Amino acid sequence: MKCVNAATLLPDHLLKEIQQYIHGEALYIPTRPSSRRKWGESSGAAGYYKIRNGEIRNCFREGADMSQLCEQYGLSIDSIRKIVYSKNPQS
């Protein structure tokens, strides 16, 4: 996160308004909620886990044992159960 001097960035009227609430301290301004990305969208992790979890569900439906799935995907039995029995199959 980069620090920027508000006096160089903000108009005078807005700077004076902010100075009524905070005096010479650092202020963090978060991004707009609409411009924030969901977890894993930037790195592709969300897509990877969605595909992987779908494969796990398909293997289970086709008769694979949970212990086999644990070894194949390197997950605990609890993680496999959560994936297989989840009510939201998109995750």
Tokens of 36: 């924030």
Query: pTM (2 decimals)?
Result: 0.59
Query: DSSP secondary-structure letter at 24?
Result: S
Alpha carbon distance 33, 55 (integer Å): 32
- For the chain, give the mean pLDDT: 89
Q: Are 91 and 50 in contact (CB under 8 A)?
A: yes
Distance CA 84, CA 79 (A): 9
Question: Who wins on pLDDT, 49 or 25?
Answer: 49
Short-list 60, 55, 52, CA closest to 81: 60
